Structure 1
């Protein structure tokens, strides 16, 4: 069984109420929730939230009745990993053991449905502990990311013995794109954080990896979504 999951915490300081805020005609959560519900490989979907109205809304659309997220997992510093594990355990109590856990970040609605299929195909082909969506980093610590040294002067964050004078010479670096994940349920039960096992990248273009953390992000995603829908 492939279990889909969306985490949608009620509190947001950057964009209050963002999970249910309308984006191009429907609540933000629907862009991700509908992708899971409509995917032929994803058999069940769970939504982890501390918002009673959002929970009832998700259940009404077809999500599992796993109950509200516990309070200690609804704080600003609660880890994504612990939220995932809580949702997995509650879902497996209803359904039996899962073969894969697919998480879509509610605030990254620009993914294409094929990204879910491609990430799943990569997971079952390579059998890692986790597939994580990434995009090639726009700034590189070997070239144009900087730190202050002990004397207060700027230096390249990760200097190499041979100086890098062009972006193309720098080692490949990825940005963690909070969009699409496929996780081994056994790994999720046993590990305590994301990077303890074999985590491999599923590369996406940066224009599909914009995450909404601010009002500016929301406006940017809305602009890109309109362009996508009209294209």
Structure 2
């Protein structure tokens, strides 16, 4: 069955490639075909189609577009396609950080899964890693921990916030409903105050879930 969908996708990809032949994009990105086979067995045909759609989006996105256009595209891609669900509902455990592959395969995830998927996707389409922070915040309206993705145009800039709770991308000062606690990416870990001062709190591999996620990403990416 996967071969049928793969052939259909290849035809679509060929047309897209012809249209975007002059566009600089992440054309080297390919999902491991063994993973696609496993995803179909575990999660069904829909998982394969979602993963191939994600692959096509990464491969055909013009890297010459502004970062803001890329942020909008990626934010909309995930917010409008994937359902919110808790880790208990999806994985049967209190806390599980899914890779983008698992997230898309399951077609559901919680806040950190949205933030993580956006982070890796934006990196894949040419947004510099140092401009991206996965941000742990307190959602004041609900009194719960929450996770979003922050984009800093410069180290000193006020960040833009990408959130699965809303489709609009707003400056942090416009998000009075969240209180930043700490942020991280592959380069390091910051408290909200230290990030503003440009000082690291430590290495991000101190976060065990992030360490486990990176290991899974190296296997699947």
Q: Tell whether the structures are fold-level matches, with TM greater than 0.5.
A: no
Q: Which has the higher helix share?
A: 2
Larger Rg: 1
Q: Which has the higher contact order (CA 8 A, sep 6+)?
A: 1
TM-score computed with the length of structure 1 as normaliser: 0.24
TM-score normalised by the chain length of structure 2? 0.24
